[in-house]
Structure 1
Amino acid sequence: QLGSIHPLLKLWLAGLCLGMIVLAVNLVFCSWTRLLKIIRIKLIMPKVFMLIIHVVFGLVVIGHFGSFVLGYRYDSIKLQQGQSFALKDGYVLTVTDVHFIDNPEVLGKSPKELGPDEYHHDANFAEVALIRNGKQVARGRIYFLRPLTCKGIQVTLKRFTPPVGMKGGNRTARKPGVKLVISKNPARIPVFVLFPVMIAGMCVYTFMTWRPRGLTGLRVNGEKKTNHEKGLSVFYGDSSALDRSCGSTGRGNRAFS
């Protein structure tokens, strides 16, 4: 849980995120200043794409920092039916019902060992309620990989846990518990939208600036030619091209004179 993290670790994480923001802002503004000078002279689309990528990267970093400061995350919260868990922003999560139709004995196995006939994902669920100041704010069912989201709070069912006292007595007469992940990330949606945009921009930039190895542009007699064209020029007697390729000043001319 976030509340159990050592204060020095919190301070280190905050400093790390702050340093990333400073570097990101510096990168964005340095790129902006440099690219604006280039764009004033000539509009170069790869440079414009690089500027967009840097801006999006800065926004993603700011979004992560905002999530760290304003959000929280509780991992592996174990609750039984009727139990509650208090969140840091005044909300209380209560497990009102646990619906499990399979044999609770299968919960002692690893999820990879469970067959489709032993565990039914679509039929097993837990019903939870979100309460604040004594009033119910939200209520719903959570399934495996189908969380409940309300007021920016996401409640995810990680797995069911074996019933209390499962080692003795009638195991099937007891209800299993649940293991939940509770998180709040105010910048989750913007970050999820901007991150693919950043990746797509990097792919477009790579495509725009990529050149085949044998088609690197070279200048022959003031004109930009490929390596293949340059070789033809040398073969057919372009002495100036031969001079450039061999690095000599007069030997190429004498060879074709």
Structure 2
Amino acid sequence: MAPTKMAAAAWYQDGVLSFNEKLIEQYVKSQGRTLDDLGRDPKLLESLIRENVHVFVHEATHHRQDVWGKSQGLPHYGGEAAEKEAMMVEALFVLQKEHQDPSYARFLDDAQDRSILARMALGQSRRLQKDRADWFGESEMARCFPGGLSISGQVWSNGFAAPIQRELTRRARLPEAERRALEDARRFQESYASMDDVRKDIPLVGTKHLEKEFAKHKEAFEKSPDAYAAYMKRLRDVTELTDRRLDELDLPMQDAVPSPI
């Protein structure tokens, strides 16, 4: 668990998968309990796990993407491609688990009126079953990540590196005392609402952190063509594999697609 200002239920970053401490606390309070009770009551812990297991699968997919990218020597590109894959894997997991464990299906059905996580699990899994894996690129990405960059945008956009380079050039011309004051200023924030917010924050970030980010983005830009091809192939492979697994499951079609919100 980790504190955060984000509304996300969980996130993966730099090899660590974290769950939103506030949301977990809200859940145990809704059960009339406290966080301390999680260590004393196996049934409470089990219900929390059921509530969040599909979220874990989603974020664990981001870990697998990270490990794969590093093993291929590729720069990290989050956004559209990563989320498409994670949502497909998450939805397929829900369908498989419902099929193998009827008690999980009952849990989601009972929880959907009170839990947005349950509604999202049911909504995405039913959509996968009804409209197949391609739907996650055509509809779900637009709803969940309306401002997200495509793979092409992640690879080719220089909207982050260019303003960093301009700021570093500006700082190099400053008097020594001012340069020193900026050297150990703070890091980038944990998250931003938009790229405009990132650019506005650049002048407040420490020089050493700017230099590190610029070097990373420069390396990524140099690898752009190969990275684009590799990420596109991975996404195609995952989409095809998801559809094949759906065919193997041969599940009865569900009539309703619950609203995720």
TM-score (norm 2): 0.21
The structure whose Rg is larger is 1
Structure scoring higher RCO (CA < 8 A, sep ≥ 6) equals 2
Pick the structure with more helix per residue. 2
TM-score (norm 1): 0.21
